[in-house]
Chains A and B, each alone.
Chain A
Amino acid sequence: MTPTVAEAAIRDFQDTFAAVRREIGKVVVGHEHAIDTILGAFFAGGHVLIEGVPGIGKTLIVRSLAEALNLTFNRVQFTVDLMPADITGTRVIDEGAGGRREFVFVPGPVFAHVLLADEINRATPKTQSALLEAMAEQQVTVAGTSYPLAPPFFVLATLNPIEMEGTYQLPEAQLDRFLFKVGLDYPSAAELERILAETTAAELPTVRPVLARETAAERVEALKHLVRQVLVAPHMERHVASLVRTTVPATGALPEAMARYVTYGSSPRGGQALILGAKVTALLAGRPHITFEDVERVALPALCHRLVMSYAAEAAGVGAAQVVEGVLASARRARA
């Protein structure tokens, strides 16, 4: 790839990203940082877990994203009686034209480009785990037959932090499969006023597709491929590996004051998330390589949900974000 072509590709990525961002912004008021993170995870090829109270626009963001990219979208409301087959699909007996009966696979809602798993913690672990294979391998297996999911495949799961009764905590293995975890806060007063004005008017804002439906999937895949080509220097790989290892208390790299708050540190997937997220950030900045700042920018959504905090942390009111920020600060000091 010549420098000119590479520059054009980067510019195309920036333009597409900005256009999608703009379209989502038409209907979603506020949450700019969350939307950027969700879009970043989408182009990095990961999945996102969104945590927020009801009614602050989680579903709207996901729906708008799918509409803006002109991709297929499905929503599954997770409940306690939801079965795995309700997600993956099932085989039914189909009678053919000649009267011959045979099992036919009926795809579940997972067969879409963008899947919204609403309130994922309300389903049983068995049903939750039905998503694992789909998220990790982009395929589902029903009755011994594997069915690939058409790329791009993007899962956005939401968690309701209140009403914890009757919920099932997501297992660590499933949490680890989400590239980022994003928290959505209440809108500010100004944002709330805008929301009220825009959603109660006669004409509701609509999202205009940025990509053509026929080519949308390929375009998105091409952009995701471009992200993967961003350069990562060995010193950046060392830096990310060091960050991830520092979060693990067993390595002894975590300062004593913080180590007692962390039971388990980040898995290697945390490092992958850091680099992939940093690659998207680098492209958005027009750079063909990642920097320390890119990594820092995605460190919180990439690492926080991967740390298993101790009871001491809960008692002391210390969150994973504080630990990750401490790790970043110590790395910054070491660099200086």
Chain B
Amino acid sequence: MPEPTPANTLDRMRRQVRAVRWRRNLHELQRALYHLIATLAGGAATLVVLALRTAPGPFAAATWAVAAATLLLAGWLARALVRRWLSPARAPLWIDRRTGLEGRLATALELGHQGAVRAPFFPLLVEDNARRLPTWRPERLLPDGLPSGAFAGALAAVGVFLLVLLLAPWLRPGAAPVTSSEVTGDEPVRGHIVIARRARRQAGESVLAPFAEPVEDDERSALSRLPDALQERIQARLWGEDREPARRAMELAERGGAPGPGGGSPPADRLVDTSEAEERWAVVRKAPRGARPAPGAAAAASPGETPTDGGATPAAAGERGAERGGEAGAHQAAAGAGTGSDPNLFGAASAARAARERFDLPLAARVRAQSGAPEAPSPGEAPAPAPDSHPDLGERQRRDAPVPRMRVPPIYEAAVRAVFAHRASEEAP
């Protein structure tokens, strides 16, 4: 049997190093994969729970947060994998460190590669390495088996994800307690919200469409619509056709109060006002010269919806309903319509309204006093739109801030209405 030469021993060492390297890299790859699965499953479970439990607004924020966290984790995993990955140059050093070979292996391989085999101490070094070859066999250095910690983590995360999918039907929030058809005297406020929203939607489509510029949806980028689409898709997949009431409840919750028996709703006026001011302002500013609101705009509220102000006439109640609905209410008419509006534009002063202790006059309305007005417009013509020296700034302000309102004590309500109401038969004050 021929005696092993340094060259043969070096070849054996190189083969064994290669085997160790592949084994180790495979192990690391497995570990990274399990970590990645755990990360993705965890992120997906979080997203599903959020999609089922939160309103679109918070869900969008949470989606980006979860996506960012998942990306960060994935990046960290990739970095860790690169750091732990054994390149051909690093492998001997790693084995040396791992097995306490004190640099014998790396020195022998590097010097062998450089052709330093004629150095006096080189044969001794190679022989020393040959003696120690069994101590770092691949199967001894890296025993078979999964990276157990990472595998358990991945398994747990996937389990949580499946559990979330399984529990999805029970994760539906309580539906909105009142719909338009369910409005009763016991729940005037919530019923009113639904009525107002529906009225606003319908009136907005029919009356304000020509005036209002296309907002939100068209301006939103595909990326910003992504969370909505994702939530819609998740809900559609998990809840099917039953998702609409739950979505409505989420929207309600997002607008200020948690649905459900225990959750208190905010006052209806507040809910409506905050969202409508912008639209009103847009209408007032954008109305073309001479444009009038369509007649019966106020009556655009759904027929058959129950008015809640006890003392008001049905017409006035309808007007107020539309006002709360926001699109075709009295404020718009007063601001831009000039003459020809209903004298009871704001509705009669009532005890019910006074009891709410507020009466907001939208300053967006370009009002004209009874006396001292610079120029009275001809009857039937809409007043000229207010000069806007900074249209861009104004546009942004309109979008960003609700229309400021002036708080008028209820005691002056009748007087204010009288001053600002337009009369059909005579010239505007």
Contacts and interface: CB of A to CB of B under 8 A. Distances in A.
B93 A291 contact: no
Interface in A272-317: 287-293
Contacts of B119: 229, 231
Given A231-B107, A233-B107, A234-B110, A291 B124 contact: no
Contacts, number: 55
A11 to B, nearest CB: 12
Interface in B93-112: 93, 102-104, 106-107, 110-111
B114 interface: yes
Nearest to B125: A288
Nearest to A1: B120
Nearest to B127: A3
A289 B103 contact: yes
B94 to A, nearest CB: 11
Nearest to A233: B107
A293 B104 CA distance: 13
Interface in B238-260: none
A288 to B, nearest CB: 3
B167 interface: no
Given A287-B102, A289-B104, A233 B110 contact: yes
Contacts of A290: 103
B22 interface: no
Query: Helix, strand, loop or mixed for chain B's interface?
Result: helix
B120 A235 contact: no
B110 A6 contact: no
Interface residues of A, number: 19
Contacts of B170: none
B123 interface: yes
Interface residues of B, number: 19
Interface string B110-146: 1100101001111111011000000000000000000
A3 B102 contact: no
A218 interface: no
Contact of A233 (B111, B123, B124): B111
B121 A235 contact: no
Given A6-B120, A229-B120, A234 B103 contact: no
Nearest to A231: B121
Interface in A1-41: 1-3, 6-7
B111 A229 contact: no
Nearest to B110: A233
A236 interface: yes
B130 to A, nearest CB: 10
Counting chain B CB atoms within 10 Å of each CB, the highest count among A3, A233, A235 belongs to: A233
A276 to B, nearest CB: 15
Counting chain B CB atoms within 10 Å of each CB, the highest count among A3, A236, A290 belongs to: A3
Contacts of B125: 231, 288-289
Interface of A: 1-3, 6-7, 229-231, 233-236, 287-293
Given A6-B120, A229-B119, A289-B103, 4 more contacts: A1-B121, A288-B122, A288-B125, A289-B104
